[in-house]
Amino acid sequence: MSRRPLLAANWKMFKTVSESKDYIDIFCELIKDVTDRDILIAPSFVCLPEMVSMLQGTNVQVGAQNMYFEEKGAFTGEVSGPMLLDIGVKTVILGHSERRHIFKEDDELINKKIVAALGYGITPIFCIGETLQERENGQTGDVLKRQLHVGLQGVAAVENVIVAYEPVWAIGTGKTATLEQIEDAHVLVRKEIAQLAGEDIAQSVRILYGGSVKPANVKDIMTLEDVDGALVGGASLEPESFSKIVRFEQN
């Protein structure tokens, strides 16, 4: 089954609204002729309305970096699914390792967010991945299986979820997992999805790799059969750099 590649930028807590505008002016010109893959940028919440407006009618989608599972209420500092939909955002990153480790989000909370997002018709990019200690202890498979099983519990439409495998030890460290490590993890994830939702759905779900993806290594990573795209952090912060990643050549 041919899965359409997705190259997604997670800007994390970088870029003001004015900096985002400057970036988009350059970036859109560099990738305007790209039609055979999906492109997404997830800026900070304050940049979302302006980015949606600027990117309307282009080949670039806009995503959010997080959302809460409740529709509304006394949840200071949180943003709900309906709020995202109201400004035209239909994709959200959930379960990123920084949310898990810095903000102590657990598998159960992430599951609630995934269920809520799908309920609103928002596509979740569901992040999973092991720490360096877990990998060194031989626990990678167990960690990924647990995160998948709990995260997708009660999810009827698994085909509408995008999974991103991000080994925590490779995020922002300059370390990239070897091609063999990446492929092994992606094969395992697809097998687990097949157990949860059936082989046909497992073959249709896109699984992205994230963790120090750069223009220099994206082509090799994208040659792996079970890798369907990349979730890019640091290397997405410069328009020229991210455009090179987006424009990787398929064999």
- Catalytic residue positions, numbered: 96, 166
Angle at 150 between CA 209 and CA 10, to 5 degrees: 30
How distant, in Å, are the alpha carbons of 67, 81, 83, 171, 250 from that of 72? 11, 9, 9, 32, 44
C-alpha to C-alpha distance for 240 and 244, rounded to whole angstroms: 6
190-195 contacts, C-beta under 8 A, 24 or more apart: 190/226, 192/144, 192/145, 192/148, 192/149, 193/148, 193/152, 193/158, 193/163
Closest to 245 in 3D by CA, of 221, 54, 181? 221
The H or E element containing residue 208 is strand 207-209
CA 235 to chain CA centroid, Å, is 14
